[in-house]
Structure 1
């Protein structure tokens, strides 16, 4: 049986997924209200400072797990903030599990989107362009990174959906 924290979390990530699919954006008000709800529910259900540290550790874990992807322009800021909100609800260990599963689901979604749109060749070319300098550096040949030309992106991935699916799976597996 799901407890109140898990039920509210599932409702919030489902709303984030629907909004991300429809508008390609996750509203800050959804993230902030989720963070506050998680804090209130942890404080009401716990003892002394333990809920606050659990909430803080989870939200920081969720945030910093996806921050590198945002800095590399592989993910939008709303997705990083959504992962921080998920971490605030589930704690740091489950946030790591959700992030790992999100990465797998996001990868499958990316491949399916490339195949569906017929732009898999463009995606492969972009990946090759980005990774080639890194590969040459491994062999000791210093090269500068080559940025992609503007307009060569093959599209964005609605990671809000991947985060929602991963969160639901981790919550469901916890009750197995």
Structure 2
């Protein structure tokens, strides 16, 4: 049976997914409410170090797992904050599990969106533009530092949906 922390977490990520689909944004009030609820629930759990070992460590783990994707412009800030909130509920190990499953789901979702929108060629062109310097460098070709030319985006992925599905999958897997 699911415990209170898991039920509240699933409700919060479901709300984030719905909001991300509808508005393409995850509200800060939802993230802050979730962080506060997670802290209160960890305090009420009775374990003396739970706020530090679970809430804070999970929050930091979730945040820093997706921060590089945000810095590379592959993800929005709301998605990073949502993952931090998810980590605050489950702790650092659970944050890593959920992030891994969310990345897999997000990748499948991105491929489905490329297929649905008919933007395969643009996606392959962008991928080739990113990988070409790396491949040339691996082959030993000396390259001058040249900034990448901006390429046309093939569209965004509502990553709140991927995080919500990843959270539900990991929580359900623990109760199988």
Same fold (TM over 0.5): yes
Matched, 1:174 2:174: yes
The RMSD of aligned alpha carbons is 1.2
- Alpha-carbon displacement from aligned partner over 1:91-110 (angstroms, at most 9, x marks no partner): 11111110010110001001
Deviation of 1:139 (Å):
1.9
What's the CA shift for 1:146? 4.6
Deviation by residue 1:9-58 (Cα, 9 ceiling, x = unmatched): 00000000000000000001100110010000001113222333211111
Give 1:139's aligned residue: 139
Say if 2:150 is the partner of 1:149.
Answer: yes
Runs of 5+ consecutive residues of structure 1 not aligned to the other structure? none
Range with greater deviation from structure 2 (19-28 or 132-141): 132-141
For 2:118, the equivalent position in structure 1 comes to: 118
Note if contact 2:53-2:91 (Cα within 8 Å) is conserved in structure 1: no
> Where do 1:1-176 residues align within 5 Å?
1-143=1-143, 144=145, 146-149=147-150, 152-176=152-176
Is the 1:134–1:145 Cα contact (8 Å) retained in structure 2? no
Q: Is the 8 A contact 1:38 1:88 kept in 2?
A: yes
- Where does structure 1 differ by over 3 angstroms across 4 or more consecutive aligned residues? none
Report the TM-score, using the length of structure 2 for normalisation: 0.95
Q: Could you tell me how far 1:140 is from its partner in structure 2? A: 2.3
